[in-house]
With several copies, the nearest count.
Chain A
Amino acid sequence: MESHVSEKVDLPFKPLPPEVLEEYSGRLREALGLKRVIDEEGRVVDEGLMPKLPPSEMREIYEYMVRARVIDSWLLKLQRMGRVALHAPNKGQEATAVGTAKPMKPQDWLFPSYRELGAYLVRGMSEEEILDRALNTIDDPLKGSDFAIYGNRKYNIVPAPVPVGNQIPLATGAAMAAKILGHDTVVVAMFGDGASSRGDFHAGLNFAGVFKAPVVFVLQNNQWAISVPVKRQTAAPSFAIKALAYGIPGVRVDGNDVLAVYSVVSEALERARRGEGPTLVEAVTYRLGPHTTADDPGRYRSEEEVKIAERYEPLKRFRKFLDSQGILTEKEALQMEEEWNARVEDIVKRVLEKPGLPKDVFFHNVYERRPWHLEEEYEEFKESLKVAEELGLELEE
């Protein structure tokens, strides 16, 4: 039997050795600092953290952010037209979504939340697929299951749970599985500041620490959980500091600085890939839009606040940087946005024409094989459609 006497019994009745204090002092600084590559004017403030990317990739990153912004605004429009059940806008958080997904490898897995359009695009999901999903066309890959979520096994994107945060232990479990199977896979979980309060966050991060799972947790601190401000979510001075509770590093990064997010997440991915375990990344950002299309932020936050936050808006900021570096002029950037807008408009038109999902779609994908009682219910269902027809009842509005 492995005895853990010397490290475990003797030790606890002493203060922890000075190396531990030192290591954790370093971690504390990372958890309370703020990593940035460029400031809000797009000026480089930390050369050391600058990701080594060719101009073409910088441009590409910007393009993903634009595409995220464009499809976001189309989803908003379609929701107002009554065609989309609900949309959770990601305006203002594009840098975190794109900066997180960009350094991931194709075999890596993403467990997103419901506000990550930029990340889906980076991993290969097209605007058409997003629209098929949002409009629940015949091609909806999730077959009309729930709103505001996106995912596809093809891209290793697991559709988000609407219950906030319960994907977090799943991400840890997937990472543990990858490790057990010896795969070169890192798992990324994305979620909000509100999610940090859930039991799932606690379990997911704790297991990840104990089992050194190859997983990166990206907490998007967008300052609000619907109407609840971060100070009501936690009394801790940052979210990154929560990492210390799980024996893992926590890094606080400017989530509106796509280059900083890219850098910090890259490093965390590499650590995980090297077998050094998980990291919690707190990306400090701001939700510029409403929580969802069902929300009315005027009830709980001032326009003044939003105006201040707009100073840190990630697209403009990155655009200034790209312009100053001669990678992309403001004019080219504008043109790029217009082009994508036009392209997406076409796609929207096309997708709006598609038929919807069949009436019996929800009888599928409950089990691998339907048990008899569900089979019976399916028969009753089909008869009830006939009754409705006989009665001339319009069952759906």
Chain B
Amino acid sequence: MPRVNMVQALNMALREEMRRDPRVVVLGEDVGRRGGVFLVTEGLIDEFGEERVIDTPLTEMGIVGVAIGMAMYGLRPVAEIQFIDFIYEAFDQIVNNAAWMRFRSGGMYKIPLVIRGPCCGGIRGGMHHSQSNEAYFMHTPGLYVVMPSRPYDAKGLLKESIRVDDAVIFLEPKSVYRTIREEVPEDDYTVPLGKARIVREGDDVTLVTWGAMVYVAEQAAKIAEEKHGWSVEIIDLRTLLPWDRNAVISSLEKTGRLVIVHEARLFAGPGAEISAYIAENYIDLLRGPIKRVASYDTPFPLVHEKLYMPNVARVYKALMEVMQW
């Protein structure tokens, strides 16, 4: 089994799916000869040609709109948004057409579309190369929202996303693109949407997170363990819409304490739903209040991004707080 990084794993997924199914096409800015600015689509144009690996004009509204039309007609497009921060021009297309065409048409048309792109901070990307905007999509029924944290999941989730018959927003934490390497099977496997992964087992606190925050959480958990002997169970949700309630509940049955960590902003952010849902429906499982750690409610700054995003100190502080209970 090759040891690959996330970019390579994503590339494998695309290549395998394009081989398997001639209806799969890739489109976006610079996905062809350039192979994407992060090289996720590298080499695909050589194997599949310009008809299936399509460099487009510079408009996210156009890329997504055209991809929806392709999906309706019978292709299975994977549309790349060069940085997910640029997706807002396509917001109308995503909400009104990608997410709601099935409903609008009484179920006659489906949109098997993946909209994928690098998200999240940690590479000094500033306001528009760093965002975690999953909350906007989580509030949009008809979509799936996915974010892998490691190469294995990236490949399996992307393959699965290409196969489902609804539109998927597929967010790739770019700070992980080349930093994590692991063994990834060359066979055809998928990771189901809506299933979390237990990153680390533990009995004292449940820490729910996803994307690059998995690694920050691991560091904070290690410190907590070393300093206090607490064992932290870390759950990587992997899919945000729908999120894996059962995984969280099972863990809470052991721990009774919940910390949610995400890179998206706090206010009306993705963690709010999880926190509210658990406190509303599973209060009996909780020893004390839930704690969210998130980016602050400001635009994403170029400077001091590590202070802006959840960092080890902030996660550790949250663990300390919930362990009071």
- B-binding residues in A (CB < 8 A): 1-2, 85-86, 109, 136, 140-147, 149, 151-153, 158-159, 161-178, 180-181, 194-195, 197-200, 202-204, 206-207, 210-211, 225-228, 232-234, 294-295, 299-300, 356-357, 359, 361-368, 371-374, 377-378, 380-381, 383-385, 387-388, 391, 393, 395-397
A163 near B104: Cβ-Cβ < 8 Å: no
Q: How far is the CB of B81 from chain A (nearest CB, A)?
A: 11
**Among the listed B66, B74, B277, which residue makes an inter-chain contact with A181, where contact means beta carbons less than 8 Å apart?**
B74
A227 and B66 contact, CB distance less than 8 A = no
Provided the pairs A146-B126, A153-B105, A393-B312 are in contact, do residues A228 and B62 lie with their beta carbons within 8 angstroms? no
The answer, yes or no, to whether B308 is at the interface (CB within 8 Å) is yes
User: Which residue of chain B has its CB nearest to the CB of A208?
Assistant: B66
Partner of A368, one of B54, B97, B110: B110
Distance of A137 from chain B, by nearest CB (Å): 10
CB within 8 Å of A: which of B228-285? 241-242, 245, 266-267, 277
* B57-95 vs A, Cβ < 8 Å mask (1 yes, 0 no): 111011011111111111101000000011011001100
Contact yes or no, B297 A163, CB < 8 A: no
B223 at the binding interface (Cβ < 8 Å):
yes
Q: Which single residue of chain B is at the shortest CB-CB distance from A228?
A: B55
Chain A residues near B210 (CB, 8 Å)? none
A209, chain B: closest CB distance, angstroms: 9
Q: Are A197 and B311 in contact (CB under 8 A)?
A: no
Q: Verify if B181 is at the interface (C-beta below 8 Å from A).
A: no
A residues in contact with B312, CB < 8 Å:
388, 391, 393, 395
Closest chain B residue, CB of each to CB of A145: B104
Residues 293-325 (chain B) with a chain A CB within 8 angstroms:
296-299, 301-304, 306-308, 311-314, 316-317
Determine if A366 and B103 form an interchain contact, defined as CB atoms under 8 angstroms apart. Answer: yes
A368-B62 in contact (CB<8A): no
- Looking at the complex, which of B13-21, B29-37, B146-154, B200-208 is the stretch in contact with chain A? B29-37
- In angstroms, Cα B302 to Cα A74, docked, is 20
30 A–B contacts, CB within 8 A, in A order:
A85-B124, A85-B126, A109-B73, A144-B304, A145-B105, A146-B104, A151-B105, A158-B72, A169-B62, A169-B93, A170-B97, A177-B69, A181-B75, A202-B62, A203-B59, A203-B61, A210-B56, A226-B30, A228-B57, A233-B58, A362-B299, A362-B308, A363-B296, A365-B103, A366-B299, A374-B296, A374-B297, A384-B311, A387-B313, A391-B316
Cβ-defined partner of B105 (8 Å) among A159, A163, A391: A159
Could you tell me the distance between the alpha carbons of A216 and B120 in the complex, rounded to whole angstroms? 36
Residues of B within 8 A of A396 (CB): 304, 306-307
Contact (Cβ within 8 A) A383 B58: no
B113 to chain A, nearest CB (A): 10
Q: In the complex the two chains form, is A169's CB within 8 Å of B86's CB?
A: no
Contact B102 A300 (CB under 8 A): no
User: Are the C-beta atoms of A203 and B96 separated by less than 8 Å?
Assistant: no
Q: What separation, in Å, do the CA atoms of A377 and B77 have in the docked complex?
A: 31
User: Is A359 in contact with B306, judged by CB distance below 8 angstroms?
Assistant: no
Shortest beta-carbon distance, B73 to chain A, in Å?
4
Closest to A198 in B: B59
- Given contacts A175-B69, A299-B34, A396-B307, list 4 more A-B pairs with CB under 8 A: A144-B303, A147-B124, A180-B70, A373-B266
Nearest chain A residue, comparing its CB with the CB of B317: A387
Does the CB pair A363–B298 fall under 8 Å?
Answer: yes
Residue of A181, A210, A366 with most partner-chain B CB within 10 A: A366
A299 to B41, CA, bound (A): 13
- B109 interface contact, C-beta 8 A: yes
Structural contact, A385 and B37, CB atoms closer than 8 A: no
Bound Cα distance from A81 to B126, whole angstroms: 18
Contact status A395-B296, CB under 8 Å: no
Q: Which of A165, A176, A299, A374 contacts B33 (CB 8 A)?
A: A299
